[in-house]
Structure 1
């Protein structure tokens, strides 16, 4: 299991290849990458803040829960912080399991929890000012499918 919270951009292809190369006994690898969107048009950049130490601990707990639920062989979570422009990658999740259903479900679980529960704060900066990104009801609703 590898959890990284970092300011610099990551190379999606290299990260995916490195993760997949260490999965000799797994039958499936699933990846997801989040990208900064300019939904309303005019976004200059998004800034993501976090509390070092607390964030890694929370992401590790999420990954450990996924490993326990789906018997995963490996998990990779990379999440950036700091300023990012539209079209830059924000985060990546990769899961490896013996069977594809487990790898897909675990990746979705991690993405839903990263979106709604991970301790990151996003602020959008545009020509008309800056504002914090509020939680969305649909993101909260997505969590309900993972309740026992």
Structure 2
């Protein structure tokens, strides 16, 4: 097997989870809107804020990877939701499903042999698809860990 294919397969596994932790879809399953907006003492965010932050950041990274006319967002205001809670269960489910779809979109970019993993993106500052895939995986893992801790504090994690 070619080394490039091995790297692509390992990136896919890293993005989808199930190496050091369960698949991302399993970890986000069963979150209720009423719990997603509950504040936890001494923490500056809710489950909803973390979930929406993951979605917003993921789609910004995907946009950066795919759009040569990419426009940089403002940090931190464009990466974090203003509201502490989702409008309803449908809004929460939509955000979670968008995260799962976004991860799969990154997987598709990685799996496409026409995409050079190491070629710097023309509109970037040296970033390449390999680096952006690692960024998505690291960012998601970091916040998934926080989500699990919040769910345990709320008593909604097994």
Give the TM-score category using the shorter length. 0.3 to 0.5
* Structure richer in helix, relative to its length: 2
Superposition TM-score, scaled by structure 1 size: 0.33
